[in-house]
Amino acid sequence: MALKPVTTPDIEAATVELSIDGRTVTAKDGVSLYDVISNTGKIVPAMCYHYTFDPFGSCGMCLVTVEGKKAPVRSCTAKAAAGMVVRTDGDDLFQARKKAVEKHLSVHPLDCPVCDADGHCELQDMAFQHQVTNLANAKQKLIPEDTRSPVLDFNMNRCIACGECINVCKDVLMIDALQFIKKGGFTQVVAKGDTALACEFCGDCLAVCPVGAITNKYSKYLYKPWQLRKTTTTCNYCGDGCQMHLETKDNEVVRVTSPLSWKNKWGDRADTATGHGGICVRGRFGFQYIDSQARLRQPLVRRDRKLPEGKLTETPWLEAMQTVVDRLAEIKAKHGAQAIAGLITARCTNEELYLFQKLMRAVIGTNPLTAVRVKEAIRVYKSQVIVVDSAQTNIAKLASYPMVVTPGTEGLFVQGLVKSVIEQDLIDAETTGKHPEALAALKRAVADVSLETIAARTGISVELINEAASIFAEAPRAIILCAEGVVRRPDGYQNVLKLVDLAWITGKLGRPGCGVNTLTEEVNEQGAVDMGAAPEFLPGQARFDDEAARDKFAKAWGAALPAASSGANLMEILQRCRSGAIKALYVVGENPVATLPASLDVRTALEQLELLICQDPFMTETAQLAHIVLPACTYAEKEGTFTNLEGKVLRVRQSMDPIGESLPDWHVMTSLASGLGSQFEYESSQDIQSEIMKLLPGYYNLGEPRTLSPRPDAYLSNGYVAEVGSRYGVVREAVSERNDHRPFGLVMGQLLYHSGKLSTQASGLLTIAPSAGRLHMNAQDMERLGLTDETRVRVTSEQGSLEMGVKDDLSVMPGSCFFPEHFNDPPIKDLMPVAVDSVTGVPYFKFAWVKIEPVSRDASAHATPQDKARDKAREKAKDKGRA
Amino acid sequence: MKVGAYTQKLLHAALFYEIWDAMKVTFKHMFHRPITFQYPREQRTIPDAHRGALGLLRYDDGAERCVGCDLCEVACPSHCIKVISAEDKSLPLQRYASEFYIDITKCVFCGYCVEACPVNALAMTKLYEYSTHDKRTLLFDKKRLYEIGERYLADAKKYLYAHNQEKDDQDSRDYRYFFPQSVQKPTQPGPPKHLT
Q: Is the pLDDT of residue B111 over 90?
A: yes
* β-strands A178-183, A186-191 pairing: antiparallel
Q: Is the pLDDT of residue A639 over 50?
A: yes
B192 interfacial to chain A (CB closer than 8 Å) = yes
For residue A50, give the CATH number of its domain: 3.10.20.740
Strand partners, A104: none
B92 interfacial to chain A (CB closer than 8 Å) = yes
Residues A364 and A377 in one domain: no
Go through B94-111 and write b for each residue having 16 or more CB atoms within 10 A of its CB, e for each that does not. bbbbeebbbebeebeeeb
Residues A853 and A760 in one domain: yes
| Mean pLDDT score, A277-296 | 87
Closest residue in A to B186 (Cα) is A144
Q: How does residue B189 score in pLDDT terms, banded at 50, 70 and 90? A: very low
B99 interfacial to chain A (CB closer than 8 Å) = no
Q: How does residue A20 score in pLDDT terms, banded at 50, 70 and 90? A: very high
**Among A19-33, A525-539, A707-721, which range has the highest average pLDDT?**
A19-33
What is the spatial distance between Cα A643 and Cα A710, in angstroms, rounded to a whole number? 18
Q: Which helix (H) or strand (E) holds A17?
A: strand A15-20
**If DSSP codes are grouped into helix, strand and coil, which group holds residue A326?**
helix
Q: How does residue B56 score in pLDDT terms, banded at 50, 70 and 90? A: very high
Higher pLDDT, A692 or A505: A692
- Residues A37 and A20: beta-carbon distance below 8 Å: yes
Q: Is the pLDDT of residue B119 over 60?
A: yes
List C-alpha distances in Å: B190 to A146, A180, A196, A303, A406. Answer: 10, 18, 9, 57, 39
Structural domains in chain A (count): 5
Closest residue in A to B67 (Cα) is A114
What is the spatial distance between Cα A633 and Cα A637, in angstroms, rounded to a whole number? 6
Q: Is the pLDDT of residue A383 over 90?
A: no
| Mean pLDDT score, B66-83 | 92
| Per-window interface: B 41-80 vs A, CB < 8 A | 67-71, 73-74
What are the phi and psi torsion angles at A550 (to 5°)? -60, -45
Cβ-Cβ contacts under 8 Å between A and B: the total is 68
Closest residue in B to A154 (Cα) is B93
**If DSSP codes are grouped into helix, strand and coil, which group holds residue A759?**
helix
pLDDT recorded at residue B182: 41
Separation in Å, CA of B69 to nearest CA in chain A: 5
- A224: CB partners within 8 A, 6+ apart: A116, A118, A119, B69, B70, B74
Report chain B residues whose CB lies below 8 A from the CB of A113.
Answer: 67, 69, 71, 118-119, 179
Separation in Å, CA of A8 to nearest CA in chain B: 38
List C-alpha distances in Å: A432 to A501, A711, B174. Answer: 11, 14, 84
Q: Determine, for residues A113 and B118 on separate chains, whether the beta-carbon distance falls below 8 Å.
A: yes
Residues A777 and A847 in one domain: yes
Q: Which helix (H) or strand (E) holds A81?
A: none
Taken in order B159, B162, B163, B168, the sign of the CA dihedral is positive
Please give the DSSP secondary-structure letter assigned to residue A565: T
Separation in Å, CA of B83 to nearest CA in chain A: 9
Q: Which helix (H) or strand (E) holds A499?
A: helix A492-505
Residues A686 and A602 in one domain: yes
**CA-wise closest residue to B77 among B38, B49, B115:** B115
Report chain B residues whose CB lies below 8 A from the CB of A146.
Answer: 188
Q: Is the pLDDT of residue B13 over 50?
A: yes
Q: Closest to B93 (Cβ–Cβ): which among A145, A148, A196? A: A145
Q: Closest to B69 (Cβ–Cβ): which among A114, A148, A222? A: A114
* β-strands A584-588, A340-344 pairing: parallel
Question: In whole numbers, what is the pLDDT of chain A averaged over residues?
Answer: 76
Closest residue in A to B71 (Cα) is A113
Q: pLDDT tens, A829-851?
A: 777 777 766 666 666 667 777 88
pLDDT recorded at residue B1: 67
What is the spatial distance between Cα A180 and Cα A160, in angstroms, rounded to a whole number? 12
> Does residue A94 lie in a domain region?
no
Residues A652 and A673 in one domain: yes
> Does residue A293 lie in a domain region?
no
Q: Is the pLDDT of residue A180 over 50?
A: yes
What is the spatial distance between Cα A238 and Cα A369, in angstroms, rounded to a whole number? 8
Q: pLDDT tens, A48-61?
A: 888 888 888 898 99
Q: Determine, for residues B195 and A194 on separate chains, whether the beta-carbon distance falls below 8 Å.
A: yes
Helices (H), A370-491: 370-380, 394-398, 410-423, 429-432, 436-447, 451-458, 462-474, 484-487
What is the spatial distance between Cα B183 and Cα B186, in angstroms, rounded to a whole number? 7
Q: Is the pLDDT of residue A377 over 50?
A: no
What is the spatial distance between Cα A611 and Cα A583, in angstroms, rounded to a whole number? 6
> Does residue A314 lie in a domain region?
yes
Lowest model confidence (mean pLDDT) among A22-31, A453-462, A587-596, B168-177: B168-177
| Mean pLDDT score, A754-758 | 72
Higher pLDDT, A507 or A325: A325
- A73: CB partners within 8 A, 6+ apart: A63, A64, A65, A66
Residues A71 and A126 in one domain: no
Q: Which helix (H) or strand (E) holds A669?
A: helix A665-675
What is the spatial distance between Cα B154 and Cα A533, in angstroms, rounded to a whole number? 72
| Mean pLDDT score, A385-407 | 61
- Residues A526 and A643: beta-carbon distance below 8 Å: yes
Distance of CA A198 to the CA centre of its chain: 20
Q: Please write down the long-range contacts of A142-145, taking CB distance under 8 Å and 24 or more positions apart.
A: A142/B181, A142/B183, A143/A183, A143/A184, A143/A186, A143/A188, A143/B183, A144/B92, A144/B93, A144/B183, A144/B185, A144/B186, A144/B187, A144/B188, A145/B92, A145/B93, A145/B183, A145/B186
Answer left, alpha or beta for residue A90, where phi above 0 means left and psi between -120 and 50 means alpha: left
Residues A418 and A389 in one domain: yes
pLDDT recorded at residue A141: 80
For residue A644, give the CATH number of its domain: 3.40.50.740
Separation in Å, CA of B89 to nearest CA in chain A: 11
Q: pLDDT tens, A78-95?
A: 988 888 999 999 999 999
What is the spatial distance between Cα B173 and Cα B167, in angstroms, rounded to a whole number? 9
* β-strands A252-257, A300-301 pairing: unpaired
Taken in order A772, A775, A776, A778, the sign of the CA dihedral is negative
What is the spatial distance between Cα A520 and Cα A405, in angstroms, rounded to a whole number? 22
Closest residue in A to B183 (Cα) is A144
Q: Closest to B69 (Cβ–Cβ): which among A113, A146, A194? A: A113
pLDDT recorded at residue A840: 60
Q: Determine, for residues B180 and A223 on separate chains, whether the beta-carbon distance falls below 8 Å.
A: no
What is the spatial distance between Cα A222 and Cα A156, in angstroms, rounded to a whole number? 20
CATH number of B54-175: 3.30.70.3270
In this structure, the number of other CB atoms found within 10 A of the CB of residue A168 comes to: 24
CA gyration radius, chain B: 29
Please give the DSSP secondary-structure letter assigned to residue A632: B
- Residues A385 and A401: beta-carbon distance below 8 Å: yes
What are the phi and psi torsion angles at A19 (to 5°)? -110, 125
- B108: CB partners within 8 A, 6+ apart: B77, B78
For residue A840, give the CATH number of its domain: 2.40.40.20
Higher pLDDT, A520 or A105: A105
* β-strands A584-588, A800-808 pairing: unpaired
Q: Is the pLDDT of residue B174 over 80?
A: no
> Does residue A492 lie in a domain region?
yes
| Mean pLDDT score, B149-159 | 92
List C-alpha distances in Å: A596 to A85, A837, B133. Answer: 68, 15, 62
Higher pLDDT, A841 or B67: B67
Q: pLDDT tens, A549-596?
A: 777 777 777 666 666 555 666 777 777 788 888 888 888 887 777 777
Q: Determine, for residues A142 and B192 on separate chains, whether the beta-carbon distance falls below 8 Å.
A: no
pLDDT recorded at residue A7: 44
Please give the DSSP secondary-structure letter assigned to residue A865: H
The percentage of chain A sitting over the pLDDT mark of 70, rounded to a whole number, equals 71
Please give the DSSP secondary-structure letter assigned to residue A170: I
Separation in Å, CA of B151 to nearest CA in chain A: 27
For residue A456, give the CATH number of its domain: 3.40.228.10
Report chain A residues whose CB lies below 8 A from the CB of B79.
Answer: none
Q: Determine, for residues A142 and B186 on separate chains, whether the beta-carbon distance falls below 8 Å.
A: no
- Per-residue 3-state assignment (H helix, E strand, C coil) for chain B: CCHHHHHHHHHHHHHCHHHHHHHHHHHHHHCCCCCCCCCCCCCCCCCCCCCCCEEECECCCCCECCCCCCHHHHHCCCCCEEEEEEECCCCCCCEEEEEEEEECCCCCCCCHHHHHCCCCCEEECCCCCCCCCCHHHHEECHHHHHHHHHHCHHHHHHHHHHCCCCCCHHHHHHHCCCCCCCCCCCCCCCCCHHHC
pLDDT recorded at residue A275: 67
Q: How does residue B191 score in pLDDT terms, banded at 50, 70 and 90? A: very low
> Does residue A196 lie in a domain region?
yes
Q: Determine, for residues B69 and A220 on separate chains, whether the beta-carbon distance falls below 8 Å.
A: no
The percentage of chain A sitting over the pLDDT mark of 90, rounded to a whole number, equals 12
What are the phi and psi torsion angles at A860 (to 5°)? -65, -35
Residues A468 and A553 in one domain: no
- A473: CB partners within 8 A, 6+ apart: A421, A424, A426, A428, A506
For residue A273, give the CATH number of its domain: 3.30.70.20
Q: Determine, for residues B68 and A118 on separate chains, whether the beta-carbon distance falls below 8 Å.
A: no
What are the phi and psi torsion angles at A790 (to 5°)? -85, -30
In this structure, the number of other CB atoms found within 10 A of the CB of residue A142 comes to: 13
| Mean pLDDT score, A371-396 | 53
**CA-wise closest residue to A782 among A751, A815, A827:** A815
What is the spatial distance between Cα B50 and Cα B53, in angstroms, rounded to a whole number? 10
Q: What is the ipTM of this complex?
A: 0.73
Separation in Å, CA of A132 to nearest CA in chain B: 18
Residues A307 and A281 in one domain: no
Please give the DSSP secondary-structure letter assigned to residue A660: T
pLDDT recorded at residue B190: 46
Q: Is the pLDDT of residue B147 over 90?
A: yes
| AA identity, residue A247 | E
Q: Closest to B181 (Cβ–Cβ): which among A140, A220, A223? A: A140
* β-strands A542-543, A537-538 pairing: antiparallel
Q: Closest to A114 (Cβ–Cβ): which among B84, B180, B183? A: B180
pTM passes above 0.90: no
Report chain B residues whose CB lies below 8 A from the CB of A222.
Answer: 84-86
Q: Determine, for residues A195 and B191 on separate chains, whether the beta-carbon distance falls below 8 Å.
A: yes
Higher pLDDT, A732 or A183: A183
Q: Is the pLDDT of residue A236 over 50?
A: yes
pLDDT recorded at residue B180: 43
Report chain B residues whose CB lies below 8 A from the CB of A227.
Answer: 70, 73-74
Task: Name the packing angle between helices B17-30 and B3-15 (round to 10°).
Answer: 50
- Residues A76 and A164: beta-carbon distance below 8 Å: no
Q: Determine, for residues B73 and A227 on separate chains, whether the beta-carbon distance falls below 8 Å.
A: yes
Report chain B residues whose CB lies below 8 A from the CB of A226.
Answer: 74
List C-alpha distances in Å: A818 to A392, A490, A692, A746, A806. Answer: 12, 17, 43, 6, 10
Residues of the domain holding A359: 300-368+533-695
Helices (H), A60-121: 91-106
* β-strands A847-855, A744-749 pairing: antiparallel
Residues A117 and A235 in one domain: yes
pLDDT recorded at residue A447: 73
pLDDT recorded at residue A689: 83
Q: Closest to A221 (Cβ–Cβ): which among B68, B71, B185? A: B68
Lowest model confidence (mean pLDDT) among A171-180, A332-341, A823-832: A823-832
Closest residue in A to B193 (Cα) is A194
List C-alpha distances in Å: A764 to A232, A759, B57. Answer: 21, 9, 36
Q: Determine, for residues B69 and A147 on separate chains, whether the beta-carbon distance falls below 8 Å.
A: no
Q: How does residue A734 score in pLDDT terms, banded at 50, 70 and 90? A: very low
Separation in Å, CA of A155 to nearest CA in chain B: 9
Report chain B residues whose CB lies below 8 A from the CB of A114.
Answer: 67-69, 93, 95, 179-180
- Residues A221 and A643: beta-carbon distance below 8 Å: no
Residues A335 and A190 in one domain: no
Lowest model confidence (mean pLDDT) among A76-85, A596-605, A802-811: A596-605
> Does residue A41 lie in a domain region?
yes
Residues A788 and A824 in one domain: yes
> How many residues would you count in chain B?
196
Q: Determine, for residues B181 and A109 on separate chains, whether the beta-carbon distance falls below 8 Å.
A: yes
| Mean pLDDT score, A505-519 | 58
pLDDT recorded at residue B183: 40
Q: Is the pLDDT of residue A866 over 80?
A: no
Lowest model confidence (mean pLDDT) among A391-400, A633-642, A761-770, A831-840: A391-400
